[in-house]
Structure 1
């Protein structure tokens, strides 16, 4: 990882070159839910070349993230992973900041891809936090990247508004192709990203001028999946996940109208519960107004065991969303902040404790299981 300071010595940008991160066989196997023996067999059966690095007097295999995603892709192609019944669209949303929404989105996308599900993340928040965690700082221009020694391909040069622009009456954005905008932080076989920047706010203004202004994402997705948009085919993705700002904006409403499920990471505190109560009421009104009722899944985050107040809040959460709260929880850990400071998604940070990563994997596994059951 490199940390560069600009000429004013005021702004610091953490840049992690994901291609340089190397992982031992056990970590790679754990990412894929395999034994190290089975991992090696897959490499030999498919002629996948893994670099070797010195370790004492011998050498051992060292995996890049691209290697691990490639192996996941091979397993999918051979039918060794369980597929989803159909494409699933998700939105992460809760009307409260600081609940772990972006952390959930980024790490779940990586986990889903490890499981063999082709995943597209759409950063639907003008702040662009999801884009930043994936390594694309929306505030940096090309000259800034050059000054900091960051590759030019980390430049954010478009967002969802550029893809919708051809059909909008108010043309706020230059028309661009999907290939010009999409980012692939871990290579072709990793999760893909439609990034965001502050100009995404203008898309809400443009949508306000349209008929059926909350249905544009849904319509665009349907046409993109059915091959009705030249040069754009989203049918190959198994999961499309929108990460939203903590406000019920025009952009957020569009993503939820287009989604099958709303994922709500929530802290066990009174402020988050007020937000959930507002969300519950909002979803009832949403269902009546739009005649759509996406599934809701609440995920307890920053959970601390054996705290009476937290356990009481968990009971209230289950009363508020009966049957729609994950049994597994994301537990409080300093690992989250450390991984964020390093610019590495926690689920692929070697420095994280095994308990933190395992809890995250269990939450994501339960999420996928619930999604599969509900779309059958």
Structure 2
């Protein structure tokens, strides 16, 4: 489900501004009927472009239109927010489990649900950045030479914003942040290979395990003039499978840990080690994120796969989503078209439908934990 598993060496350039989505798919993305979509447009005087379907002009929604409507629904009270901002880290110490796929698509779906969302690429391989249309390897000038807008280049990462040590040039959030789908879509703090040195920076810092936690608290409370996170409802971080200080910091800072798990014993072992590590965190730091395990690479009607899923649920009762992510070529096909699955209209029930189901369960689980019944 991730690019490495399908041998994708690069992500094609797609001009997100030029994309137009049909009313049916736009409504599905937002979880509303087409009739509700039309009413929202009239109520808020939204001007939607018309595109030709054959010889008939029909409404064609830009990505900015869709995310703008999601924000309107949230501001109008049609969508209930969380009682407080949350931080999510996507992690398990095992490669090829769909961590990046989950981070990217769930982050987009949070925005489609009206949450103001920030995705942080916390992996020097920068796959989330690439999935969202940015090139971590080429300069702006090199991209322009290839006919790609220079603003698809990465100019900074979380290390430039945290200003810990003197390894990185201090930068403003406005210099680093990327908004691939417009102001109302998910925002991105991208990554590139120099982020690898952040491991050294964190190890040499005072309170090395808490640097992300301190940074997020200060950025959210307006204490960092150069980096204001106060408007974000959800921060979601993608991590490398290695147990680096970056990953450790993201786990300590997280309220929720989303753990995509393949249905094999090696992934189970990785999750078991992680659960033990979180238990040690709880002892050391008096806090630990809540695990939400997501079964991935699931194949129907395979007794061994089903047995492994049952075993996973027994090992981690109440922490495994009922909906799995199925093994599907749609993940690679959407990237070949230059789009994350969440915005790819050709996605099927076993891919896009399954991801939407998982997102619904994640939101429900977060609400249950943040809003316990009285």
Match of residue 103, structure 1, among 96, 101, 104: 101
Query: Hey, what does 2:166 align to over in structure 1?
Result: 171
Query: Hey, what does 1:260 align to over in structure 2?
Result: 255
Q: Residue 14 of structure 1 aligns to a residue in which SS?
A: coil
Asked whether the equivalents of residues 11 and 130 of structure 2 are also in contact (C-alpha less than 8 Å), the reply is: no
Asked whether the equivalents of residues 134 and 153 of structure 2 are also in contact (C-alpha less than 8 Å), the reply is: yes
Alignment partners' CA distance in 2, 1:213 and 1:59: 58
Offset from partner CA, 1:117-149 (integer Å, 9 cap, x none): 110011101111111101112111123201211
Alignment partners' CA distance in 1, 2:57 and 2:225: 49
Alignment partners' CA distance in 2, 1:276 and 1:56: 51
Match of residue 296, structure 2, among 276, 282, 301: 301
Q: Residue 275 of structure 2 aligns to a residue in which SS?
A: helix
Q: CA deviation at 1:360?
A: 1.1
Alignment partners' CA distance in 2, 1:336 and 1:125: 20
| Structure 1 alignment gaps of length 5 or more | 1-10
Tell me the TM-score normalized by structure 2: 0.94
2:14 maps to 1:16 = yes
Match of residue 73, structure 2, among 46, 67, 75: 75
2:283 maps to 1:288 = yes
Alignment partners' CA distance in 2, 1:216 and 1:46: 42
Alignment partners' CA distance in 2, 1:362 and 1:207: 37
Query: Hey, what does 1:4 align to over in structure 2?
Result: none
Query: Hey, what does 1:210 align to over in structure 2?
Result: 205
Q: Residue 243 of structure 1 aligns to a residue in which SS?
A: strand
CA-based RMSD of the aligned residues comes to: 1.3
- 4+ residue runs over 4 A deviation: none
Query: Hey, what does 1:234 align to over in structure 2?
Result: 229
Q: Residue 122 of structure 1 aligns to a residue in which SS?
A: strand
Offset from partner CA, 1:175-194 (integer Å, 9 cap, x none): 10011100000000000000
Asked whether the equivalents of residues 143 and 149 of structure 2 are also in contact (C-alpha less than 8 Å), the reply is: yes
Query: Hey, what does 2:5 align to over in structure 1?
Result: none
Query: Hey, what does 2:6 align to over in structure 1?
Result: none
Query: Hey, what does 2:49 align to over in structure 1?
Result: 51
2:64 maps to 1:66 = yes
Using the TM superposition, name which of 140-149 and 361-370 deviates more. 140-149
Number of residues paired by the alignment?
A: 363
Q: CA deviation at 1:333?
A: 1.2
Using the TM superposition, name which of 120-129 and 223-232 deviates more. 223-232
Match of residue 85, structure 2, among 87, 90, 97: 87
Tell me the TM-score normalized by structure 1: 0.94
Using the TM superposition, name which of 341-350 and 190-199 deviates more. 341-350
Query: Hey, what does 1:279 align to over in structure 2?
Result: 274
Query: Hey, what does 2:329 align to over in structure 1?
Result: 334
Q: CA deviation at 1:225?
A: 1.2
Query: Hey, what does 2:132 align to over in structure 1?
Result: 134
Q: Residue 346 of structure 2 aligns to a residue in which SS?
A: coil
Match of residue 312, structure 1, among 307, 310, 332: 307
